[in-house]
Amino acid sequence: MTRQVIPTNTSTASSFARVSLLIYLLLIVYASWYPFAGWRDIGLTAFAYLTAPLPHYWTVFDVWTNVAGYLPLGMLMVLSLPRWRRWSPYWAVLLATLAGILISGTMEAVQTFLPTRVASNLDLMTNSAGALLGAVLGAILRPRFGPDSRLLQLREHWFNREASQGMVVVALWPLAQIYPLSHLFGFGQFTSMLSTWLSDLLEEPVDLQAWFTNDVRFTAAQYWLTETIITACGLTGAALTFLILLRQHAPKLPLTLLLVFVALMTKALATALLFAPDNAFVWLTPGSFGGLLIGALMLSGLAYAPQLAQRRLAALTLIMALLLVNIMPDNPYYTETLQTWTQGKFLNFNGVAQFLALLWPFCTLWFLFHPMHKRRRQQPPRDSR
């Protein structure tokens, strides 16, 4: 009986890169067309901006944000291309750059019909430059993600086979902390946004949260208890989602603590930048602190539970947090804090952050309920004869 050696498929690309590219494309669309309101026709064609004079007023901030915004797009496109042996890195860079130009040109063309946006040929040039730089960076980094790279070997040693899509979801969790939320880890709050859209559509005030609470006046203790539950469920759901990606011999505790630390530090840094340095930890209320403690206690008992139980409990806790954050009214302190938030030049960035905070729990639940892991468990082992 001889062992069959299965050659590495060089025509497939990284699943992590493909999923990251898809999500990043959605973020670019949301950032470019946010807030998706007030569409109008000003009598210009969609691509009239191409022949318009360069804008007289521009800032260095606008230039480097446009370049930085499309740099990950070009890099992910190169990393998502099939790993053909005869695939030239020059063609990969050219293809990714052309795709970035096409995407940016489309985004700018649609902005012609948005009142809060201005289609700009300068934005197209800076976005294209960002895509080119990202493509070059992707071509440089691509060999480091090959089958013989140390990074891939470490990934295979610590993470299981289904971790590619899950790693994208987990990596987005710290980034989702950037947008100011009513409750710590209270992602997926769509009722307030939907209420605003319905109010504009029906031309009368609509409050979906009031339908669930029947205009009940909540006390400070009830707000505190709600925030505790949401924080604990959000932390537990995210951490368990990360744990089901790890193999048994992986350093689970250090990696999980590192993930939570990065998420909380991202929250603190974003709060300091968006509001004031003195408010960096204003989100660490008694309710959120209690939720962090309860979540840590729950995780201490579930860290080494069977992966199927971890998957089900992760989905359950995320659903509980999602229901509570959409049923309970916003914390009055949170509403008052948002009134002091001046978005200014960060309008595009804040739109992406809001979209990510809204989308994250649904992407995670999709991963948790995806039948991919069931199929892999049911597959019989390969016959080595």
pLDDT in tens, 260-309: 999 999 888 888 777 667 777 888 888 899 999 999 999 988 888 888 89
| Cα–Cα dist 227/215, whole Å | 19
pLDDT of residue 380: 47
Write the CA distances from 137 to 28, 94, 151, integer angstroms: 19, 13, 17
**pLDDT for residue 363 is more than 50:** yes
* Average pLDDT rounded to a whole number, residues 183-195: 82
| Cα–Cα dist 186/116, whole Å | 29
Is 352 in contact with 30 (CB distance < 8 Å)? Answer: yes
pLDDT of residue 4: 41
pLDDT in tens, 27-73: 888 778 877 777 788 778 888 888 888 887 777 777 888 888 899 89
- Pick the more confident residue, 309 or 144: 309
In this predicted structure, which of 8-12, 153-157, 187-191, 316-320 has the lowest mean pLDDT? 8-12
How many residues are listed for the chain in this entry?
385
In sequence order, the β-bridge partners of residue 127 are none
pLDDT of residue 12: 47
| Cα–Cα dist 362/350, whole Å | 19
* Residues 167, 172, 177, 182, CA torsion sign: negative
Evaluate the omega torsion of the peptide bond into residue 277 and state whether it is cis, within 30 degrees of 0. no
In sequence order, the β-bridge partners of residue 30 are none
3-state secondary structure of 244: coil
pLDDT of residue 121: 87
| Cα–Cα dist 243/250, whole Å | 10
pLDDT of residue 142: 78
Is 138 in contact with 96 (CB distance < 8 Å)? Answer: yes
| Cα–Cα dist 23/9, whole Å | 25
Percent of the chain with pLDDT over 90: 24
Does the predicted TM-score (pTM) go above 0.85? no
pLDDT of residue 371: 61
Is 362 in contact with 192 (CB distance < 8 Å)? Answer: no
In this prediction, residue 224 has a pLDDT band, given cuts at 50, 70 and 90, of confident
Read off the tokens for 222. Answer: 């009830």
* Average pLDDT rounded to a whole number, residues 97-124: 89
Residue 335 has φ and ψ, to the nearest 5°, of -65, -40
* Residues 43, 49, 53, 56, CA torsion sign: positive
